[in-house]
Structure 1
Amino acid sequence: MRRRFLIAVPLLISGGVALAADVNCRNPLDQASMNICADRDFKVADKKLNETYRALSAKTSKAGRDKLQKAQRAWVSWRDAQCQLNTLGSADGSVHPMVYALCLDQLTQAQTKLLDGQLHCQEGDTSCGGQ
């Protein structure tokens, strides 16, 4: 059974329903649109993370996959808790979904870079994943 490391980002849309498909993320005009665009950016980063994770998992030994899975699950919990802490100041505002998604996006991109480094180790680097 494969697990995806996703979380849902709630979109608080004030003043009516905004259709996500109608939002121009090159020039979002209101907070609801900015929230949607930030969520889209996070989803792109999360997709890349999952692709990198799967590639690294396929390259590792059974013991390595078990440790990778354990580390990634712990990282997802940490990321979510860290973003809850980082965005506490906006928790009651309409900007919160955007700020939270931006935090998730930033930390997810950093984790993808870390896993990608493990995926593309130099030969003989015993500190690198893929064991």
Structure 2
Amino acid sequence: MTSIEPTAAPETDICCAGADCELLPTVEADVLAETFKALADPTRVRLLRYLAESDAGTACACHLPDALGISQPTLSFHMRKLHDAGLVARDKRGRWVHWTVRPEALAGIKTFLDLAPRSADRCC
């Protein structure tokens, strides 16, 4: 009869340096993902930039369709996406809505993007 010798447990291999990095919390990742989804459309990126660069810091919905070459219903659709993602605020003035970029929402995106390259250097 042949006896089978127990083999020693293999040493734990670390597949790459930084495999133990801390992941972004799920809630924070969900918020960022929703924001990036809202910005995943060129028209919405153009709208956000237009609002951010407006002299008054706000823009009336009456001017936006012509400025961007889109229809009023298309504008409403895109502005709702930006608003739902928390990127813009609206202020109803009479029959028109004035839109403003929410700087604190952009700050969160900027912080995430600024940290991404450093995190990669630190962890991997």
Normalised-by-shorter TM-score class? under 0.3
Q: Which has the higher strand share?
A: 2
> Whose Rg is larger?
2
Which TM-score applies when normalising by structure 1? Answer: 0.26
Higher relative contact order (CA 8 A, sep 6+): 1
Q: Which has the higher helix share?
A: 1
